[in-house]
Structure formats: structure tokens, C-alpha cells
Amino acid sequence: MLKDEHPQSLLEVSGLTKHFGGAQALRGVDFDVRAGEVHCVLGQNGAGKSTLIKTLSGAHQPDSGEIAWQGNVVTIANPVAAIQLGIATMYQELDVVDGLSIAENIFLGHEHATAGLVRGRETKNAARALMTRLGHGDLSPSREVGTLSPANKQIVSMARALSHDIKLMIMDEPSAVLDSQEVNNLFRVVKELTSQGIAVIYISHRLEEIERIGDRITVLKDGRSEAAGLAVKSTPTRELIALMTGTDIDHVFPPRVPLDPAAPVLLEVDSLAAGSRFRDVSFSVRAGEIVGLAGLVGSGRSEILETIYGERTATAGTVTLAGFKLKAGSVTTAVNHDMGLSPEERKTQGLMLEEPIYRNATLSTFTRFARGALLNERAEREATSEQMRALELRPAEPNRITRTLSGGNQQKIMLARWLIHGTKVLLLDEPTRGVDVGARMEIYGLIRRLAAEGTAIVVVSSEIDEVIGLADRVLVIADGNVVAERNATEIDEHGVLDLVMKGSAA
Amino acid sequence: MSEPTTITPAHEPVAAGNPNAARRFFSSAAGRNIGLVIALLVLIVVGAVTAGEDFLSLKNMLVILRLASVIGVVAIGVTFVITAGGIDLSVGSLLGLCSVVASVTAVQTAASGFWPLMIIVAVAVGLAVGFINGWIIAYGKVVAFMATLAMLVAARGAAELISQRKTLIVTNDGFKDFFRTEPLGISIVVWIFAIAAVAAWFLLNRTTFGRRTVAIGGNATAARLAGVKVKRHTLYLYMLSGAAAGVAGIMLMSRTTAGTSTHGQLYELDAIAAVVVGGTLLIGGRGTIGGTVLGVLLFSTLTNVFTQNNLSTSVQLVAKGVIIVVAVLLQQRFANREGSATTT
């Protein structure tokens, strides 16, 4: 109803440029957003997406170029000005206060108050109305936000945006912290917003999401709008990847390598269980093989990896690594027997962000380089440089602080750690979270290459198509049980979801 | 891709004494704490102007160093704990407890033929209490702040019980004679501080022990998942801090020729202040022994300047507070600048 025949642009951006010191972040961005549409902005890390968002939300001022809002050229001096215009931004790092209630969070900074006293009932009612509008009327406005899941925190963040009279909502990788079910819910909310005439600028690395909810796409590359306002329906994924990376790519996933029938079993998991999290998990992985665990968040897939690794203590069953039965609940034993884990949360569980790259790369091996208790940092740096070159991680500066690397490069450091270690069994939990499309394909290629060199690999991902595309064999997990085991070529995403549903019902 | 095999170091390890290592020492400790060096120089100029010849005399410089030594050794131990993201509030009380146990009649009698026994006892008490701290924190999963706060109270109480609130005079002549010697004209206490500082710098920057310490402070989960035995190492760190408090207890005993439960009161705060002013991050992940030494010297020079000018200790406390805040503010300024320069 609100989408009229000749939609006029709500937002029109032309010739936007911005530099920071010597770095040119934006070199000329042109695109327009119409009321009620989902406009996807795609681009690799460093393409200028963040700078563009920050410029539109008033956090940065452009060097040149124009921003027209409802036909008038405007200057968005600061975030408050953006909200007054009707532009709200939902950042990746959610800006909710855990200790406050849902209602208090929604009206943070513009409370319903008389002379400093908050009018509680009015606030709660208004909050409930906004949450209902987003399809979450069931959450009590007085509930503390710290008790909510990341998905629901997002909803609160959106409700806060809606508490202002907004016409455009910018979402920066909202699905990065969500699993498939929660993503479905997010999409419902996005549809809800657009049906009310609100436009959404949607940033994501996941191309399949864009196909599902996007109306039009703008692709950024090297700070320029490489293509603007492409219709999603008529633009094949392949073309998008080509636009984004500047190269034509035939396949996202590397080709599978036929498994040597004589390849030894490196990892054998037998009747493994951990309390109520999962039970009776048995599978084996041979040298050169990639096994994927597919399932929803909460299915127990990450817990299975953690238990194999010893980070979580098994209550039953055994893990055998190249013939050696591992001690339950001992990460050190696992590492000493050449098993490695790249954890789900790279930044909080995997890396020392303020340390130089080489110290992260050698975190599991620095004692090996050392002579007795004496560190040999030179050898550590050399080994790191060598791996960085092999992983095409440029510039190969092992002294660089890890925090300054992109998500994809940080993931490569995690791989480098276990490459230097020489692991026989590698467990990968969400290997491409927060990694852009180009780097993703590189990481897929690396994982396949590692397998081809004789490593046994187990992959867990919330993106089911990633598990299927990467793995040779897929175990479907539902409610802590392995409900099916299939060759990856014999199953697709729908097949997995069907099995999950059946498994959960059983 | 290279063969993922065990790597044998292809090069000779860097010798501790070579110029490269020396250069790195300055870039890591003095270089990063250039502000501290300037502050110290300013303070020395102020001292020289206001107190003149007396202040600049070699004798006074040695007084400053002696003043710095006891807190210095405590602070060096605490630097390790803080670098690993922990905190040890018990060191001041523990210092008192160590001094008391080492000077009770029974120990002094037993040590009459072999005076170093007193040192061994003090260090053993420090290690034992550090073990308890570390065990409660690492295996009992109690927050370090609370565990060591409890120990602060308990160790002081234990010291009072053992000493019956009396000052225990050191009568052991071997002990007293040893600490009266002044090799190269410098007090033994200062030598201990210097040796402790060099050894600690080496331990933190050049050994696997130091790397584990920094790694745990930088990201304990990452360290654990890479196979570092985080709990065991945490235990060792509190034992190290306890042992340092024991050594400091002996140093204070030698200066006062007495052991008492009031020794070391509030030293934990002075030590933590010196560590943080020195540039070690309270949240862990970055530690500097050079910075700690400079921080301790800054505070002891300050005390000396005030004493030389006959100013009250109250004024001195205010000045100390101001210095702590200014130093931390400056550090943050530098840290931010460094951060924005490296971000791409």
C-alpha cells in the first residue's frame, strides 16, 4: 500500500568520498534507497561499507558528495541529527545495556518522564506496543536485557530505533550472531518494517540471505559503488561475486578430493556423551576427510567439538586420536597429541588481539621453538612469516598487532597456529564467521588443501550450506543426537532441515 | 604449503647480552615509558633546585634507592600477577607475616649456626601463602580480588597471633652482619632489588614462563584452548608474588632489625600503584618490569624530595595521588594514539 507505482527515492547519495589520513575509504559512492525496500549493500572487508554506514548515520562527515533526504540535500552532523531525520542504525556490536530492562533500553535517553521521574506504566505500555509491532509482544517490558538471547537483544535494539519516528533503518550484519531459525525471525521483522513503509539498508556477507529478503543491491568495491540498485531477482549470485571480488569465480566451494580408501582413521569418537547436552555420538574421520556437523544452535554441535577437544568433560564414551585414547577433559593432552581447535568466537576464545601476530600463531608451539625455558622469538617470527606467505596473508609482517587484521586474516592466523603445530586432527567451529566472501573462498580452499595433505577435519557451522559445501560427509545433529549421516553430495539444506525437524520430534 | 612438521630452530637463540637484546630492552621498557623517564628527570630537577647539593649527593641517591628496594621487590612480584590479568592484594600483609615467622625465637635459634635459614623460612612462608592464594583462584575459581583481599586480612591476623603483637628483635649476628655489608658501597638491599629486577625482566620477556604469563593476561581462553596449562601457571604466578613478598620481608627486617606484624602495611597499594604507573595494564596482557622499576623510583624520589624539603607527609600523599592519575591519563593518551596509528 505504501509502495506506490513510481517510488520516489527516500535517500539519494551521490559522489560520496571520504578519506582518513592517507587512506581513501570512499572514492565515489552513488546509490538511492526507496521507501519500503530492502536495499542490500555488499562488499568485501575494506570496500567501504562501514564508512558509508557511519557517514549516513552522522558519525563521519563526507569530504565531498551529496546526501539528499526526501529530495532535499542535507548535512548529517551527528548521530542525533540522523535520528531526527529518521535514520536509525543498528550496529553489529549491539548497544543495549544488559543491566536495564527492555523498556528502559528502548527509551534510553528519551524517557517518558516528568521532572526526572520516569513514568513507569506509560513507558512499559509504549515498550510493549513497539515489541508487539516487531512480533515479540510476548517478552515482558520489565525483563532484564542481559537475560535475552543475541537475537532478542537485536529486537530490542530495533524497537529502540522504532521508538523514534524513523523512515530508514540501517542494519550492519544483523545475522552474524544468529542461527538459521533466528535469521528467519529477523527476516520476518524486516518484512514487517518494510510493510510499514520503512526502508532497510541491509549489510551482510551472506549472499543467500540477500537473495531471500533483498529488493535491490548496491555493490561496493574499493570505496566505489561498483554497481548500484541492481534488482535482486535478475542478478545471479555469480555476477555479484564477480562484482565484489573483481574476479570471476566458478565455484564457491573447492572441489572434493576422492578419498584414499587406505587412508588411516585419525579421529575416532565412540559413544561420546556430555550430560544432557548430547549423547551417544559416534563417528570417525580419516586422514584427508572433512566431516561436517550440521544442526541448529542449541543442537549440541559446538558442545560435541568442545568435548572431543577436552574443553568440556565427557560423561561417557571415548575419543581416540591416531590410536591413542585421549584423557577426558584435558585440552593439553589433545593438543599434545596433535589435535587443534579453531573456536567459535575467534576474538574472545581464539586470539590475543593486542599481541603481535607471531605470538598468536605460535601460541601452541612457542615451547617447541624454545631452548629449554628460553624463548626463540626469531624462529617463531620466521615460522610465522613462512605460514603467512603460504596462506597468502599480506603483508607478511609477523610483528603486526593482531587486532588490526580483518576477520578473514584473523581466521588465517588461527589456521596458521595449527599448521605450525602440524595437527593431525583439526576441529573448526564457525570457520568463516565475520569473514567476507572473497576471503571465505580462500579459507574454504585452505581447509580443503589441509585435508588433501592428510589432516582429518571436523567442521561446525551455523550455515548449513557451508557445512554441506565443504564437507565430504555430514552428520545431522538434533537435540544432542546424531539423527543421520550422509555423504555431502547426497543431501542439501532442505534435506538437513527436514532431518532436524524429524529428529527433534522423535 | 610447507610441511606441517615439528620445527627445529634454525638459528642460535638470541644471547641475553648482545646489542640487539639491549636495544629491545630500551624500546620495550624505557622507550615505552618515556613519559615516566621525563617525570623522573623533572622530579630530580625539582629536588636539585629546592634541596640543592644534599639532594644530588651520591649518598642521597643511595638513600632513594634503598627506599625503593623493598616496595620494588614486592612490585616486581605483583607485576607478573597483574600482567596475567590477576591482582594480589595480600602482599603487604604477607610481607609482615614472613618477617614475623622468620624472626620468631625458634627460627632465630635454629638459624644461629646458619643464618640464611631465616631467608629460606621467609620465602617458604611466601610460597606457601602464594600457593593458597593461587589454588583458591585457579582451582576454586574465586575472583582474585576477593581471594587475596581475604588473605590480606587473614595474613595480618596470623602475623599478630604468631608475634603476639610484639616486635621481634633480630638477634642473629650472621644475618645482621650480612645485610650491613655494602659491596661497591651499595647496600645489599639495593643489590637484591637490582638482581630481582634483571631476573624478572629476563623471566617475563625471554622465557616460556613469561610468554605464558602474557598470553593468559591477553586472552586466558585462547591460551587454554591452545594447550597452555592456565590453572597451573596461575598457581605459579601467585607463588612467585608470595615469594617476592617473602624476600621483601627479609629486606625490611634487615633495615629495621625486627620482624613485626605491622611491616608492609599498605605496601600492596604502593606496589600496585607503581606497577600501573609503570605501564602494566590492570586488565592484563601487557607487563613491563622496566616500567615497574621506574614507577617505584618515581614514588621513592618523590618521598625523598618532600623529606628533604621538610614538607609534611600529607602533602606528599596528595602529590602521589595526582601523579598516579596524571600518569594513567597520559598512558591512555599514548595508548589511543598508538591504536589509531596501527588501525588500517
Contact across the interface for A404 and B344, Cβ inside 8 Å: yes
Q: Which residue in chain B has the smallest CA separation from A374?
A: B207
Tell whether the torsion through CA atoms of B176, B182, B186 and B190 is positive or negative.
Answer: negative
In a domain, A29, yes or no: yes
- Are the CB atoms for A151 and A135 separated by under 8 Å? no
pLDDT at site B159: 94
From chain B, pick out residues whose CB is under 8 angstroms from the CB of A395: none
Q: Looking at beta carbons, which residues of chain B come within 8 Å of A364?
A: 226-228
Rounded CA separation A494/A408 (Å): 28
Question: What CATH number is associated with residue A44?
Answer: 3.40.50.300
Q: Please report the sign of the dihedral spanned by the C-alpha atoms of residue A127, residue A132, residue A135, residue A139.
A: positive
Contact: B11, A379; criterion CB under 8 Å: yes
Question: Which residues neighbour A342 within 8 Å (Cβ) at sequence distance 6 or greater?
Answer: A350, A411, A414, A415, A418, A426, A427, A428, A429, A431
Tally the domains of chain A: 4
Which of B7, B219, B229 minimises the CB distance to A332? Answer: B229
Which one of B209, B225, B286 has the shortest CB-CB distance to A343? Answer: B225
Query: Do A377 and B14 make contact, defined as CB atoms within 8 angstroms?
Result: yes
pLDDT tens by residue, chain B, 344 residues: 344 443 333 343 333 444 455 444 444 444 566 778 888 888 888 888 887 778 888 888 898 999 899 999 999 999 999 999 999 999 999 999 999 999 988 888 887 888 899 999 999 999 999 999 999 999 999 999 999 999 999 999 999 999 988 898 888 888 888 888 888 988 999 999 999 999 999 999 999 999 999 999 999 999 999 999 999 999 999 999 999 999 999 999 998 988 899 998 899 999 999 998 888 888 888 889 999 999 999 999 988 888 888 888 888 888 888 888 887 777 666 554 443 333 22
Residue A347 lies in a domain: no
Cell 519500503: give the residue: A36
Q: Report chain A residues whose CB lies below 8 A from the CB of B344.
A: 23, 46, 404
A416: chain B residues, CB-CB within 8 Å:
none
Is residue A20 in some structural domain?
yes
Percent helix / strand / coil, chain A, rounded to 5: 35, 25, 35
Residue of higher predicted confidence among B241 and A222: B241
Check A376 against B13: CB less than 8 A apart: yes
Distance CA A214, CA A200 (A): 9
Of A355, A365, A382, the CB nearest to B218: A355
Task: Note whether A301 and A241 are same-domain residues.
Answer: no
Do A105 and A118 lie in one domain? The reply is yes
Nearest 5 degrees, angle CA B200-CA B201-CA B202? 90
Please tell me whether residues A300 and A356 are part of one structural domain: no
User: Among A396, A422, A448, where does a domain finish?
Assistant: A422
Of A166-175, A255-264, B144-153, B334-343, where does mean pLDDT reach its minimum?
Answer: B334-343
Residues composing chain B:
344
Q: How far apart are CA A437 and CA A445, in angstroms?
A: 12
Question: CA-to-CA distance for B238 and B246, rounded, in angstroms?
Answer: 12
Is A262 found in the same domain as A156? no
The pLDDT value recorded for residue B249 is 95
Which residue among A335, A376, A386 sits closest to B9, beta carbon to beta carbon?
A376
| Unique residue bearing C-alpha cell 625471554 | B206
Instruction: Give the closest of B1, B4, B206 to A375, CB-based.
Output: B206
CB atoms within 10 A of CB B41: 10
Are B218 and A354 a contacting pair at CB < 8 A?
A: yes
Distance from CA of B294 to the nearest CA of A (A): 23
Of residues B343, B335, B342, B205, the one with CA closest to residue B282: B335
Q: Which residue has the higher pLDDT, A478 or B145?
A: B145
| Gap between the Cα atoms of A184 and A208, Å rounded | 12
pLDDT higher at A209 or B245? B245
Which of A349, A368, A373 minimises the CB distance to B225? Answer: A349
Same domain for A475 and A453: yes
Produce one character per residue of A269-307: b if its CB has 16 or more CB atoms within 10 Å, e if not.
Answer: beebbbeebbbebebebbbbbbbbbbbbbebbbbbbbbb
Q: How close is the nearest chain A Cα to the Cα of B83, in Å?
A: 13
CB-nearest to B224 from A331, A369, A419 is A331
Distance CA B126, CA A280 (A): 48
Residue B337's alpha-carbon distances to A266, B328, B340, in angstroms, are 48, 14, 5
Same domain, A410 and A460: no
> Cell numbers at residue B104, please?
620468631
Looking only at the bridges linking them, the beta strands covering A316-321 and A265-274 are: antiparallel
Q: A395 with A435, same domain?
A: no
User: Does residue A300 surpass a pLDDT of 50?
Assistant: yes
Each residue of A336-364: b (16+ CB within 10 Å) or e? ebbbbbbbbebbebbbbbbbbbbbbbbbb
A345-373, pLDDT tens digit by residue?
A: 888 899 999 899 999 999 999 999 999 99
Q: Which domain holds residue A433?
A: 254-338+423-506
* Domain-embedded: residue A294: yes
Residues of A whose CB is below 8 A from B231: none
CB A185 within 8 A of CB A209: no
Which residues have a Cβ under 8 Å from the Cβ of A189 and sit 6 or more positions away? A134, A135, A155, A158
Task: Describe the crossing of helices B289-308 and B267-277 by its angle, rounded to 10 degrees.
Answer: 120
For residue B215, give the nearest of A309, A363, A404 by CB distance: A363
Q: What is the pLDDT of residue A459?
A: 95
DSSP A401: B
Of A44-48, A270-274, A477-481, the least confident: A44-48
Q: What is the mean pLDDT of chain A?
A: 86
CB contact under 8 A, A419 and B6: no
Within a domain: A262: yes
3-state secondary structure A25-76: EEEEEEEEEECCCEEEEECCCCCCHHHHHHHHCCCCCCCEEEEEECCEECCC
Residue A485 grid cell? 549421516
Which residues are A281's β-sheet partners?
A272
Phi, psi (degrees; rounded to nearest 5) at A89: -125, 130
Buried b (16+ CB within 10 A) or exposed e, B197-233: beebbbbbbbbbbbbbbbbbbbbbbbbbbbbbbbbeb
Q: Do B4 and A423 count as a contact with CB atoms less than 8 A apart?
A: yes
Which of B10 and A470 is assigned the larger pLDDT? A470
Domain edge (last residue) among A220, A250, A280: A250
Residue B85: list chain A partners with CB under 8 A.
Answer: none
Interface residue ranges in chain B relative to chain A, Cβ cutoff 8 Å? 1-7, 9-11, 13-14, 206-211, 214-215, 218-219, 221-229, 285-286, 342-344
Optimal mutation site among B11, B206, B208, B221, interface A, most CBs of chain A within 10 A: B208
Residue B58 burial class via C-beta count within 10 angstroms: exposed 0-12, middle 13-18, buried 19 and up: exposed
Q: Looking at the domain assignment, is residue A300 inside a domain?
A: yes
Inform me whether the pLDDT recorded for A23 exceeds 50.
Answer: yes
Give the whole-angstrom CA distance, residue B80 versus residue A131: 49
Highest mean pLDDT, choosing among A104-113, A164-173, A489-498: A164-173
At which residue does the C-alpha cell 524517557 appear? A111
**How many Å is the Cα radius of gyration of chain B?**
21
Cβ–Cβ of A420/B343 closer than 8 Å? no
> Nearest CA to CA, how far is B192 from chain A (Å)?
23
What is each CA distance from B276 to A213, A256, B73, B81, in whole angstroms? 51, 54, 15, 12
- Phi and psi at residue B258, to the nearest 5°: -160, 150
Nearest-CA residue of chain B relative to A364? B226
Instruction: Tell me the pLDDT band of A504, cut-offs 50, 70 and 90.
Output: low
Q: Is there a single domain that holds both residue A429 and residue A506?
A: yes
Q: Answer yes or no: is A346 within a domain.
A: no
Please tell me the predicted confidence (pLDDT) of residue B334: 57
User: Considering only alpha carbons, which residue of chain B is nearest residue A331?
Assistant: B227
Q: Do B342 and A332 touch (CB under 8 A)?
A: no
CA distance A448 to A471: 9
Inter-chain CB proximity B226 and A363 less than 8 Å: yes
The DSSP result for A365-387, as a single string, is THHHHSBTTB--HHHHHHHHHHH
CA distance A262 to A229: 53
Indicate whether A6 belongs to any domain.
yes
Nearest by CB: B218 against A349, A352, A366:
A352
Residues of chain A found within 8 Å of residue B206, distances taken between Cβ atoms: 374-375
Between these two residues, B29 and A237, which has the higher pLDDT value? A237
Q: Is there a contact between B2 and A309 if contact means CB atoms under 8 Å apart?
A: no
Residue in B closest to A310 by C-alpha: B225
Residues of chain B positioned with their CB less than 8 A from the CB of A455: 4
Same domain, A71 and A182: yes
Inter-CA distances, B163 with A257, B102, B168, B255, B262, Å: 76, 11, 7, 19, 10
To test the contact with chain A by mutation, choose from B8, B25, B211 the residue with the greatest count of A C-beta atoms within 10 A, namely: B211
Instruction: Count residue pairs from A and B with Cβ separation < 8 A.
Output: 123
CB contact under 8 A, B225 and A449: no
- A18 and A68 fall within a common domain: yes
Q: What is the number of alpha carbons within 13 Å of residue B310 lying toward its C-beta?
A: 0
- Across the interface, whether the CB atoms of A376 and B14 are under 8 A apart is answered yes
Domain check: are A190 and A223 in the same one? yes
In whole angstroms, give the CA distance from residue B8 to residue A463.
39
What's the gap in Å between the CA of B334 and the closest CA on chain A? Answer: 15
pLDDT band at A283 (very low <50, low <70, confident <90, very high): very high
Judge: A453–B1 Cβ closer than 8 Å, yes or no: yes
Closest C-alpha among B276, B277, B207, B264 to residue B236: B207
Chain B residues with CB-CB distance to A335 below 8 A = 226-227
Residue where a domain terminates, one of A192, A224, A250: A250
Q: Taking CB atoms and an 8 Å limit, are B219 and A449 in contact across chains?
A: no
B208 CA: distance to closest CA in chain A (Å): 5
pLDDT at B25: 45
- At residue A101, φ and ψ (nearest 5 deg) are -75, 170
Q: What confidence score (pLDDT) does residue A247 get? A: 60
Note whether A69 and A40 are same-domain residues: yes
What would the mean pLDDT of A277-286 be, rounded to a whole number?
92
The answer to whether the Cβ–Cβ distance between A369 and B7 falls below 8 Å is: yes
Between CA B327 and CA B309 the distance in angstroms is: 24
